[in-house]
Amino acid sequence: MKNLLLLLIFALQLSAIQAPKEILITTESWEDLTNKDGSGLYFDIVRAIYEPVAIEVKFKIVPYNRSSNMVKQKKADLWLGSYIDEEDYALYPKYYFDQDIVTAMFKTSKFPNFKGIKSLKDKNVGWVRGYGYQEYIDVKMKIHERNDRKTILLSLEKDRFDIFLDDADDMQESIKQIKFDTSKYKFIKLMTFKLYPAFRNDTKGVELKKIWDARFKKLLDDGSMKNIFIKNNYEEYFLY
């Protein structure tokens, strides 16, 4: 009887560990995806994953580099928009939720015969701090990381950078926001990456990852995931 009681107590403790009551998600703010008011495609996806299983979803909008560091320090449970195995301190699920189309932006006069990734060799290349494109590019570059896209665009205009790398949609949104004149520039698609949530590497992260994969599959199978994309006017971006 005593052993049975101990097993029951252990099972209840394990159940408590495996049933998180809330999840804190850190993310950069992307228009219509992770809006500061809590709306957007990515937030709707996360809520659809976790809220039906009684996990309260909380968000914190911070720069990308800080969002990943908060997960590393166990101050948050996951960050959004990571490439697979981008950081060795994070856990990655089976199911991705979107993709980045990484684009090179540069003055046409500087690269009349741009030849993709090999044209980045020994050039001054700028991107948002923490994005880590160097892990996926096999040529040596002079890397310049900045906290915001406005600073990068202005540096590109002043020839402090030769090339700006970013997701195509994020790049265009920043250009629109500051009314940046692109008449002298060219845009070339370089790479495409699937985007994942990256979970903290501990017991809670393991359980949240398991829930993500199980619930994501369910929402795919019953059509709910596609409906989330349709609701947010992103049907053309639905990848499954």
Boundaries of every domain in the chain: 12-98+195-237, 99-193
**Considering only CA atoms, which of 233, 211, 199, 169 is closest in space to residue 47?**
211
Residue 45 CA to residue 221 CA, distance in Å, equals: 15
Q: In the structure, what pLDDT confidence band is assigned to residue 238 with cuts at 50, 70 and 90?
A: very high
pLDDT, mean over the chain: 92
| CB contact set of 105 (below 8 Å; sequence gap of 6+) | 156, 163, 164, 165, 166, 171, 185, 186, 187
Class of domain 99-193: alpha beta
Residue 186 has a CB neighbour count (10 Å cut-off) of 15
Average pLDDT on 163-177 reads 95
Residue 10 CA to residue 235 CA, distance in Å, equals: 46
Q: In the structure, what pLDDT confidence band is assigned to residue 120 with cuts at 50, 70 and 90?
A: very high
Average pLDDT on 110-136 reads 95
H/E segment holding residue 205: helix 203-221
Q: In the structure, what pLDDT confidence band is assigned to residue 7 with cuts at 50, 70 and 90?
A: very low
H/E segment holding residue 163: strand 163-167
CATH of domain 12-98+195-237: 3.40.190.10
What is the pLDDT, as a whole number, of residue 18? 62
Q: How far is CA 224 from CA 55, 181, 215, in A?
A: 19, 40, 11
Tens digit of pLDDT for each residue in 44-58?
A: 999 999 999 999 999
Within this chain, domains 12-98+195-237 and 99-193 share the same CATH topology:
yes
What is the pLDDT, as a whole number, of residue 11? 43
